[in-house]
Amino acid sequence: MPEYAVPEYAVVHEKPRSFYSLYERKPELQHQTHYCPGCGHGIAHKLIARAIDELGIQDRTVMISPVGCSVFAYYYFDTGNVQVAHGRAPAVATAVKRSRPESIVLAYQGDGDLAAIGAAEIVHAANRGEPFTVIFINNGIYGMTGGQMAPTTLLGRKTTTTPFGRNAWNEGYPLRVCELLASLEAPVYIERVALGGNRQIMKAAGAVRRAIENQVKGLGFSLVEILSPCPTIWKMNPVEAQRLVLGEMTEAFPLGVFRDRTKSATVRPAAPPAPPLAEIPRILGLTEGCESTPSQPAGSSDWRIRVAGFGGQGVLMLGEILIEAGLEAGLDVSWLPSYGPEMRSGTSNCHVRLSSGPIDSPLVSRPNVLLALNEPSLRKFLPTVAPRGWVFYNGTQLPDGCERPDVQAVVRPFTEIADRVGDPRAANMTMLGALLGATGMLTEERVLTALRRKVSSGRWLEIDQRALDSGIEAVIKGVSHES
Partner 1 sequence: MTALDRGIVALDSEECKGCGLCIEACPPKVLSLRRLLNRYGYRPAVYAGSGCTGCGICFFVCPEPGAITVLRRGGGACQNN
Ligand X SMILES: Cc1ncc(C[n+]2csc(CCOP(=O)(O)OP(=O)(O)O)c2C)c(N)n1
What residues line the site for partner 1 (CB under 8 A)? Answer: 1-2, 4, 6, 8-16, 19, 31-33, 35-43, 45-46, 49, 76, 197-198, 201-202, 205, 231, 237-239, 242
Rounded to a whole number of angstroms, the CA Rg of the chain reads 31
Alpha carbon distance 138, 179 (integer Å): 14
The torsion region of residue 249 among left (phi > 0), alpha (psi -120 to 50) and beta comes to: alpha
| Residue 142 near which of partner 1, ligand X, ligand SF4, none (CB within 5-8 Å, type-dependent) | ligand X
Angle at which helix 458-476 crosses helix 414-421, to 10 degrees, equals 130
Residue 137: name the closest of 113, 162, 169 by CA. 113
List Cβ neighbours of 129 (8 Å cut-off, separation of 6 or more): 186, 187, 188, 220, 221, 268
What does the DSSP 8-state code read for residue 392?
E
- Return the number of the residue (147 or 437) whose C-beta is nearest ligand SF4: 147
Tell me how far, at minimum, the Cβ of 147 lies from partner 1, in Å: 19
220 binds ligand X (CB under 6 A): no
Partner whose footprint covers residue 126, from partner 1, ligand SF4, ligand X, none (CB < 5 to 8 Å by kind): none
Q: Which of 38, 80, 110, 314 binds ligand X (CB under 6 A)?
A: 110
Q: Is 41 in the site for ligand SF4 (CB under 6 A)?
A: yes
Q: Which does 112 bind (CB under 5 to 8 A by kind): partner 1, ligand X, ligand SF4, none?
A: ligand X
- Answer yes or no whether residue 231 interacts with ligand X by CB under 6 A: no
Size of the site for ligand X (CB under 6 A): 17
With CB under 5 to 8 Å by kind, the binding choice for 201 among ligand X, ligand SF4, partner 1, none is partner 1
Considering the complex, what minimum distance in angstroms separates the CB of residue 201 from partner 1? 5
Burial of 224 (0-12, 13-18, 19+ CB in 10 A): buried
Nearer to ligand SF4, 39 or 474 (CB): 39
Crossing angle of helices 315-328 and 444-454, rounded to 10°: 120
235/344 with CB nearer ligand SF4? 235
Give the one entry of partner 1, ligand X, ligand SF4, none that residue 86 binds, where binding means its C-beta sits below a cut-off of 5 to 8 angstroms depending on kind.
Answer: ligand X
Which residue number places its CB atom closest to ligand X? 110
Nearest approach, Cβ of residue 244 and partner 1 (Å): 13
d(CA 343, CA 376): 13
Q: Which of 39, 370, 382, 472 binds ligand SF4 (CB under 6 A)?
A: 39
Q: Is 476 helix (H, G, I), strand (E, B) or coil?
A: helix
Residue whose CB is less far from ligand X, 131 or 143: 143
Contacts of residue 81, Cβ cutoff 8 Å, sequence gap at least 6? 62, 63, 64, 65, 73, 74
Q: How far apart are CA 319 and CA 412, in angstroms?
A: 19
x/- track of binding to ligand SF4 for residues 219-258 (CB under 6 A)? -----------xxxx-------------------------
- Amino acid identity for residue 416 in this structure: E
Residue 479, helix vs strand vs coil: coil
Give, as ranges, the residues between 52 and 71 that touch ligand SF4 (CB under 6 A).
69
Across-strand partners of 77?
A: 19
C-alpha closest to that of 137 among 161, 115, 164, 155: 115
Work out the burial of residue 3: count CB atoms within 10 Å of its CB; fewer than 13 is exposed, 13-18 middle, 19 or more buried. exposed
Shortest gap between Cβ of 10 and partner 1 (angstroms)? Answer: 3
Polymer length in residues for the chain: 483
Q: Identify the H or E element spanning 337.
A: strand 332-338
Q: Which is nearer to ligand X, 72 or 460 (CB)?
A: 72
Which ranges in 354-426 belong to alpha helices (H)? 375-381, 414-421
Residue 36 binds to ligand SF4 (criterion: CB under 6 A): yes
Nearer to ligand SF4, 80 or 143 (CB): 143
Please report, as ranges, the residues that interact with ligand X according to CB under 6 A. 67-70, 86, 110-113, 117, 139, 141-145, 150
Please report, as ranges, the residues that interact with ligand SF4 according to CB under 6 A. 35-36, 39, 41, 69, 139, 143, 230-233
